[in-house]
Amino acid sequence: MGDFGFTLAMSIVFATGVTSGAAVTGIVAGVQAALLLAPVGLSLGVSAYAANQARKQIAPVSDINGLQSILKQAIPPQRLCLGTVTTGGALFFYKAKKPYIWMGILLAAHEVDGLDSVYIDGSQVFFDPSTGLATSTPFSDGAQQYLKASFRTGAMDQAIDTIIASDFPTMPTTFRQRGHATMVIRAHYGFGANFEAKYDDHKRIYGDQGVLQPLTRFRGAKCYDPRQPGHVLGTPATWTWSDNAAICLARFLTNQWPDTRLTDPTRLDWDMVARAADECDRWEVGNDGTTFRRHTINGVVQSTDSPYDVIENMKIAMGGHLVLDRAKIYPVVRGRRTPAGTLHMNMLLGGVEYASEPRDRELINIIKSSFVAPDREYQEVSGPVLRRADLIALDGKPREASVRGAFVEGHRRIQRIASAMLNQARIGRTLTAGATLEAMNWAPGEVYRVHLTGDALSRCNGLYELARKDWDDRMRGYRLTLIGYSDTVTDFDPLVDEQDFVLDDATLEAEAA
């Protein structure tokens, strides 16, 4: 069986081993299956991977346009909410009886950390925590009370919702939605002397469309974080909320859906997860002095989403990739890393294949991006365009790619992610070489120094990231595949590199059209 480590050309592989030399691109076809498919990254040429990732189309996950709607579905998809999310949901309860409308909304198929806020027609609603009644205008004007709401975190022992229990006393106490976070809203239809006056009042409060579409913003799933004292992997009650990208990706990979999970928690290398999480938690500073953590994930995953596409989008948010090495899975985040070893002349076995630069079709000099905008009700919008005039002149023509930040909040984060992706794609150096058993403990995702001698081989020298390590019976050694590495890939000077970016209504209207 092959000794596999695959980094950049892989999403995830759920297998214990395959024959040496086989493909290592893992694609999960659905939540209930995991398939090992033919080569993708390496058949393109390892140097092409970064460019290929940037160019390829990723199916829309965490699609806010659908997630922020209130849906009536007999069997709605299960939802995993990571980080802080702003969402609607499927109705588990609906009743209209003059003068009220009751809506019970399923928010998440798991326990969540807590409520942040509620929005209706773009206005934040404030509630009295003791009564659940709205206290802010226009939902309360001192004389009329339009809204009452209640929120449950989704504990397995939660009781029936308080509003439903109070207003519908015949409802059985077993109507509890255990393990599901919910929001229940009771809305007064509208005050007025006649139907027309009531309807005008209704539109004034709830929006011109007259349709009540509440958005609930809450802190989502609790996650196991190996860095946190007291966290026990097998005891979810000890976990706490996190929006750290590496921690959230691990939560998705190990999430227990009703009838399956993508991978067992014991398959993850939690020491490496902790290392990646530390990179994600590094602080960045914007050109206006704003501080924020490098990589977060905030969004909703549904059981109907393609796991492959979810993983690809999460890798973008994490600013890195996933590794499978000796049956262990772990994330690697772009950043400054110290070389873990050196490939020297006495380690070489067989021939060496070397490419000093990317092929023309792999070059990128423009990256268009999208991100989740907090000031647009957390809708995904087109972001700033990274355009390198010096590289366009060098390449002789524009070469565009795009990056979708489905789980990335804020234009500052996506600008840094796009910059690192472009820098990585421009490196282009690749090296494939045989190595002795001295490389036994080398791990994909780690950085290694190549130091060879001789006029020809010395041109290969430099820093590389190990992308793949296979055992070759013919050589009685390892076949190493390495991709050029530079510790300056993530360098970003906010005063020079960060673009000022403001969303304008005209641009959003044009995109919608």
Per-residue pLDDT of 248-288, as tens digits, reads 999 999 999 988 899 999 999 999 999 999 999 999 999 99
pLDDT digits (tens, 9 = 90+) for 42-82: 223 333 444 444 444 566 676 665 676 666 776 888 999 99
DSSP string, 418-458: HHHHHHHHHH--EEEEEE-GGGTT--TT-EEEEE--STTGG
Q: What is the average per-residue pLDDT within 445-472? A: 95
Supply the pTM of this predicted model.
0.85
Q: Taking the mean position of all CA atoms in its chain, how far away is CA 328?
A: 21
Residue 399: closest CA among 412, 416, 408, 387: 387
Is residue 16 over pLDDT 60?
A: no
Between residues 20 and 124, which one has the greater pLDDT? 124
Query: In percent, how much of the chain has pLDDT > 70?
Result: 84
Measured over the CA atoms of residue 14, residue 246, residue 413 and residue 302, the dihedral's sign is positive
Is residue 10 over pLDDT 70?
A: no
Output the pLDDT for position 508: 53
Residue 70 structure tokens:
């209130």
Output the pLDDT for position 377: 83
pLDDT digits (tens, 9 = 90+) for 350-392: 889 999 888 777 789 999 999 999 888 888 999 999 999 999 9
User: Residue 327: what are its φ and ψ, rounded to 5°?
Assistant: 70, 10
pLDDT digits (tens, 9 = 90+) for 179-212: 999 999 999 998 988 889 988 888 888 887 777 8
Output the pLDDT for position 505: 57
Which residues of 303-365 form beta strands (DSSP E)? Answer: 320-325, 328-333, 342-344, 348-355
Give residue 398's identity as a one-letter amino acid code: P
Measured over the CA atoms of residue 504, residue 506, residue 217 and residue 261, the dihedral's sign is negative
Q: What is the average per-residue pLDDT within 399-418? A: 95
- At residue 502 the predicted structure's pLDDT band, cuts being 50, 70 and 90, is confident
The number of residues in the chain equals 513
Output the pLDDT for position 76: 85
- CB-count exposure of residue 71 (10 Å: 0-12, 13-18, 19+): middle
Output the pLDDT for position 176: 96
Q: Residue ranges per domain, the chain?
A: 87-218
Q: How much is the mean pLDDT over the chain?
A: 85
**Alpha-carbon gap, residue 171 to 331, rounded angstroms:** 47
**Ramachandran region of residue 132, left (φ > 0), alpha (ψ -120 to 50) or beta?**
left
Output the pLDDT for position 121: 83
Q: By mean pLDDT, which of 56-70, 160-174, 214-228 is the weakest?
A: 56-70
